[in-house]
Structure 1
């Protein structure tokens, strides 16, 4: 990931630490920036702390990173990917005195980090939305188009006919509704397919353990909202990854709502291949927080985007060649 591929936020650096806020004043869960400070973060960061026996960072992002003489660390990372960490005594792009090479984000334990540039996507760009199983295997990959990427989150459009990869049996049957016991004994593989029957607008708020989907029929009529409970997304150069947590909420246009897949969620809770009883608690609590917004008619359940129309030139999206690109040995984590 090159610096040239990122959108600069000059003059808008912010401290990313426990209880701090990120872009747009959006609060980040402490686990994302506590025990593993940069695990789910991607972008360019000024850091102070120690790694591999090196201590540095007596300057500040407003002084050192802008061109002062105090040493600071510059970390260029992509979520859970290895990132480049260097020490500099000059401004950005000059004065390097030592390179620490490739560093995993969670090695920056206890760092105070300031975001200098954030990885962002361009309107109209085709990226991937991938669901990663807890064992690291890809469960699904959907080619989506970027509508917006800002403080409210990443907004994407999935048009009918867009290319997908689903996990299926060797005979092509989708395994989405298979029981845990069936999944343990049935060989599966990823099979190509197409998004069919609906068009979907999806909002993934920064650091949130859910996403909001607006469903539209083939004629563009709004059908309702779908709240997908999931791990906070991990960005990489080709898109974003998360782990689906099975429990969902369906919301009618009149904002009446109901839980979905509670039986599947209960079946997986406490199973070693999924999540613990303790981890299940904040998953349902996340859903209850969203239900409060639904019942209050608050954003995004206030009618926003229910009349959305995609760009007339946007065709169904196509999977890129690196749709199965390996990003991390660790799947997205449940925030507790």
Structure 2
């Protein structure tokens, strides 16, 4: 594979991970660069980091009623399908996340840490292969996730109902669905083989205490 290294990032730099749908920004959030090898990019974020997300999602975070949350989610999918969403500002909370993006893969791998920096779970987020930009990376979430125990002993599929809704609305077309099916198989193969995709060294990782919060820069397209 030929690596596009036109935009390589130094450790400690701030980059922006954006979801792009229909040539519009769907989400945008700053991340701290841990390592950039060209073919793999390792990033981190933690509570307090401020980004952009659809207002329907932001509103749902404060809803106590499951029915109201479901209605907000359904409206969010309808807005995505029609290209009519609005963005608002929100802050990441509760967990620290270490993330790895591998060139050409239809998923990224994350390790979530809770209170006391206790590893909570691995999180495989299915998404389009990332594209480097001057700001960071652009991708697009594919609505499906896989949760894995820290010791890789068990896994659970997440958001399959949202993925099915995305299929019904045409957000995930047949060609993209075929790519997701292949990515599912590959992720499970890597999990079964205990590949370096899930490095045990990550379980002891912690962000430097003197790191400032990465901040979202101004950019066009919002």
Task: Report TM bin, short chain.
Answer: 0.7 to 0.9
Residue from 44, 67, 89 that aligns with 1:157: 44
Residue from 6, 22, 25 that aligns with 2:2: 22
Matches within 5 A, 1:219-258: 219-255=116-152, 256-258=154-156
Deviations 1:123-179 (A, max 9, x none): 10011011112x222121111100000055110011111111111149944688335
- Superposition RMSD in Å: 2.6
Q: CA deviation at 1:243?
A: 0.6
Which structure would you say has the larger Rg? 1
Residue from 115, 130, 144 that aligns with 1:218: 115
For the 8 Å contact 1:132–1:140, the answer to whether it is kept is: yes
Q: Which has the higher contact order (CA 8 A, sep 6+)?
A: 2
For residues 100 and 189 of structure 2, what CA distance do their matches in structure 1 show?
18
Change (3 A) 1:172 1:209: same
Matches within 5 A, 1:26-45: 41=4, 43=6
Structure 1 unaligned spans of 5+: 1-20, 24-40, 44-118, 328-336
Structure 2 unaligned spans of 5+: 62-68
Partner of 2:163: 265
Change (3 A) 1:170 1:213: closer
Q: Does 1:301 align with 2:189?
A: no
Partner of 1:310: 207
For the 8 Å contact 1:144–1:157, the answer to whether it is kept is: yes
For residues 16 and 58 of structure 2, what CA distance do their matches in structure 1 show?
25
For the 8 Å contact 1:159–1:315, the answer to whether it is kept is: no
For the 8 Å contact 2:60–2:73, the answer to whether it is kept is: no
Matches within 5 A, 1:129-148: 129-133=17-21, 135-148=22-35
Matches within 5 A, 1:76-225: 119-133=7-21, 135-151=22-38, 153-169=40-56, 172-173=59-60, 177-178=73-74, 180-181=77-78, 188-225=85-122
**TM-score (normalised: structure 2):** 0.84
For the 8 Å contact 2:148–2:156, the answer to whether it is kept is: yes
**TM-score (normalised: structure 1):** 0.57
Query: What stretches of structure 1 move > 2 A for 4+ residues in a row?
Result: 169-188
- SS of 1:207's equivalent? coil
For the 8 Å contact 2:18–2:26, the answer to whether it is kept is: yes
Deviations 1:99-127 (A, max 9, x none): xxxxxxxxxxxxxxxxxxxx200110011
Q: CA deviation at 1:221?
A: 1.3
Aligned length, in residue pairs: 211
- SS of 2:117's equivalent? coil
For the 8 Å contact 2:25–2:221, the answer to whether it is kept is: no
